[in-house]
Chains A and B, each alone.
Chain A
Amino acid sequence: MNLTFFLQNVVNALQWGSFYALIALGYSMVYSILMLFNFAHGDIFMVGTYIGFALTTAFIALSAAGIVVLPNWLILILTIILAMLFTSCLGMLVERIGYRPLRGGPRASAAITGLMIGIILQTTVLYIMGAQRVLFPSLIQTTTYNVAGVAVTNIKIMIVFVSIALMIALHQFVQHSKWGMAMRAMAFDYAVVPLMGISINTIAAMTFAIGSALAAAAGIMYGMAYPIIDPSMGILFGWKAFVAAILGGRGSIMGACIAGFLIGFIEIFVATIFPSTLRDLIAYSIIFVILVFRPHGLFGEPYSARLRL
């Protein structure tokens, strides 16, 4: 494997890992403050992608009809912002009707609630959009830059930069806002937080909102890079991001990001060496072995789950 080839794969892995990392953050944050895995998260990612698809299509139609003529870059920015907003509302709705009534109940009920909500979301999208795959409209003309023999597209650069910017923004939020402070406190000891006059429900809803917004951003960028989407896209992607959240160490924000990128790297490099049909088999065997040696994940601590950076 020569250097150029290696660097080419690094670029691809960074892009691929960005999706996992952004989705893994949603699993990780919710787990850390509520001690439950939101198994509907992969499907929230899917719905976010479809919301992005609908918004983009609508904006393009409006522009084509001459009603509101917007340049493509503006459409992209508006789509990302609005889709994050709408998807965070969906996340809060899921928390409100799916999880809040079950809080304090058996853990297994919350887990299957997530699975059921996932199925509901998938079938709803299936009903509205049909089973056929749809093409995510391309907004940005792909430009390929050749940097020392490594092909880098403008879309890849955008994806990696937007992802990292979102992660930094999340870090800032968790460290420096009062809500972030409450999230960190909830991750350490859930029960004392209300006694500081803080509403657990507000913080929980906010956590779902943030996780869902990040998933929507990941979904739209996924649609830009791999423009064919279908209602079952969230299943496998969700599971893999879930693996990243566990591999990072439950509840660790930095862990989720790093593990997301790590899984991206493992998948891409396995695919360059072995036939692509063996990719997941080998990649996830490697991850399995890592977990055997580090059962609490890369940044996890035994018997604890807390929001750390």
Chain B
Amino acid sequence: MSKFVDFGNALYSGDRSIDFIGRRKLWYSIAAVMIALAVVLPILRGGYNFGIEFKGGSEYRISAVGNKADSLASSAVASVLPTEVTHVTHVGTDSLRIQISNNDPVVSESVRVAIAKAYGVPSSDVASSSIGADWGADVTGKALNGLIVFVLLAAILMALYFRTLKMSLAAVISLLHDLVITAGVYGALGFEVTPAAVIGFLTILGYSLYDTVVVFDKIRENTFEVEHSESSTFAERVNLAVNQTLVRSINTSVVAVLPVASILFIGTTLLGAGTLRDIALSLFVGIVVGTYSTLFIAAPVYSHLREGEKKYKAAAKRVEAARA
């Protein structure tokens, strides 16, 4: 504890400082490489792995079955739909997930009954969902609408609060960085894209901007009237703000990631693929990337955008002169 406090004290006073702003070329290069990978890797992998919500089809889940042979499911499906291709996945220790491409709700019901009979469980114990091919696209389309409206409104809100458009711009740039990289991780690792994953993805929006706003608020405070300062430049003040809130950033991201990690763990081990795991997975990636980008993208970009302004340039020159 005391070491962490010392670290916090040192960061606050400026005794110890991580150069977030000065080394921005390095951070920009890292971001460029990451974004390039986020675009290229999913393509190399052969595109995103969309769930049945995007392709259309039916999914059945049975838990606590004795005989887990895949062939039982295949023949049960074939008894209703002779030409259908059946995909069976084992989930956890005693659960099965069966997917077919037919999505007619009435046929789906017959298949459900057939599967229950094949595995010798009451038909009420077989969970099923049949989804039209455009449902996933529908959810995602609406989600993208939401994304655009939110980013616009949030940018306006931030511009009003911080009294500068440049903070909004920097925050939105870092948000886009987060979204592209999170989507890239999904594509590169071949995680299944489901509506639940889209929810997680949308939450990143809120979290990423939330995190950025906390740091920006400190930056706003530190850079107040910095153009009259003799002792430090705009960029230095921004860097100091990021350092002063670093302990908060670390604590916050740890605290935010812990519950998400626990959903991810429980969702994966107890339930297998499903809503909980999908939400948690995209959130987990998003929170980590979001915290990183506030420090290494949002703050440097903001400083980059503003330090070139005349008043700050002049002030920086005076500071240089005073130090010489």
Asked whether A and B interact, the reply is no
Interface residues, chain A, CB within 8 Å of chain B? none
